[in-house]
Amino acid sequence: MPAIGLIAATYRWFVLATVLACGSAAVTWRVQDWRYGRQLAEQARLHSDTLNQLTSAAETQQRAEHNKRLALEQQLSASEQNHYRVLSDVQRDQDRLRDRLATADVRLSVLLDASDAVSIAAVSTASGPGGVDHGAVRARLDPAHAQRIVAITDAGDRGLIALQACQAYVRAIIR
């Protein structure tokens, strides 16, 4: 019977070693689970912090772009108001000039070339009391022609004002 006792003792040692190995494996698995769980939790927290920082940076950038856009809109609005004011002032001045030409309150005249003897013979050389050319030879224009010249200069003034407004718009956008 000693062989049975030896087998039983060996079996007991084998069972005990197996139980200890399984227990050790279970403890090892549990420790690994805790360590990996902590690492995964830390990684998730870092990931969450990174996402929060990126979101905050994106919000800050979006807010800055929005403020920049609002400033540009205000600047363009002010430029548009200035353009409208200048244009209306020029139109008002042109209308006044046109009215004064129509009522003969003001007359349009041109200087003639003093070296052109043929033209000068047909025009008087005396300057009027309000003349500023001190005797230079001038010819008065027909009021209808004067109206056409004023209309041409009016269109030119409007074109220049529109060009200045476009240049101001481009300068504002480029900044």
Cα 61 → chain centroid:
15
pLDDT digits (tens, 9 = 90+) for 129-173: 555 545 677 777 777 888 888 888 888 888 988 898 888 888 888
Residues 6+ apart with CB under 8 A from 110: 138, 139, 141
pLDDT digits (tens, 9 = 90+) for 112-123: 776 765 555 555
Q: Residue 126 corresponds to which tokens in the numbers above?
A: 């005396």
Please name which of 101, 88, 93 lies closest in space to residue 148, comparing C-alpha atoms.
101
In the chain, the N- to C-terminal Cα span, in Å, equals 104
Q: Best-predicted range by mean pLDDT among 35-49, 54-68, 94-108?
A: 54-68
Cα 118 → chain centroid:
61
Q: Is the pTM of this model over 0.75?
A: no
Per domain, the residue ranges of the chain are 2-106+141-174, 109-140
